[in-house]
Structure 1
Amino acid sequence: MENQKQLLVKEALNARENAYAPYSGFSVGAALLTKSGKIYTGCNIENVSYSATNCAERTAIFKAVSEKEREIEMIAVVGGKQGEPVKDFCSPCGVCRQVMVEFCEPNTKILLVKTAEEWQEWELKDLLPAAFQKTSLIVE
């Protein structure tokens, strides 16, 4: 498991290099591991209209889902000022957390990355407690 975490951290750091962030100057990379053992990466992709921007986490998740991968084991996320070393941990935004709830279990590991050697490990349920989920739509 530790090797998988290190690999995801490395892949997230590499994905950050592909970010298209000309407006915010804040580059984010993400990597996820599916239960089948495949890794998908993503970066943030900005748009001048801002609302058409897509976050790194959602880019990686959507890539996986488009390949019929719907069970996510773990996700690593790293972000910071473009062209500079990462100075702090970058947590997923609320929209990304909600998308994670759709395709992840509550105990899915989310790695917030600072460097290849330094990261924090969270569970999704701790990043988004009382999440709106599929069972929330059940009306009796």
Structure 2
Amino acid sequence: MTALHTHYTTLLITLGLATLGWTAGCADSTGATEPGDPPPIQSPDGPTVTSASAQRLCDMLGPDVDAWRAEGPTFAKIALNNAVQDWALHNNGINIAVTLNRSVVDRVTIATCPAVRDALLTALQTSDLASGLVGFQR
């Protein structure tokens, strides 16, 4: 195998993996609901979030709020972004949908854990959680 062939093979593999990583975050729902589950949290522009996924987000955010508040709003925003993207990845890979529609995090936390949301707003020093997230709003 020539050096040029090896270079192109490596490039193609890298591009393939990058494409796979990009498409892994393209879902628009956290998954199917089970019979008897509460209705999912739906958004006109954002992903549909099952009640179980919404509870997982609250469970991920709640324990860290006091530590984030102690570190200050800049740290809290970085930590929130990390936690939300981790949650999105582990809930059917809705990362892109969340990035494009950050307000879904507000809708989920208002419906599922308003006390956690209020504590986060204090830590972030923002009026809504979407303002603390990196992304775009349609």
TM-score past 0.5 threshold: no
Higher strand share goes to which structure? 1
TM-score (norm 1): 0.32
Larger Rg: 2
TM-score (norm 2): 0.33
Higher helix share goes to which structure? 2
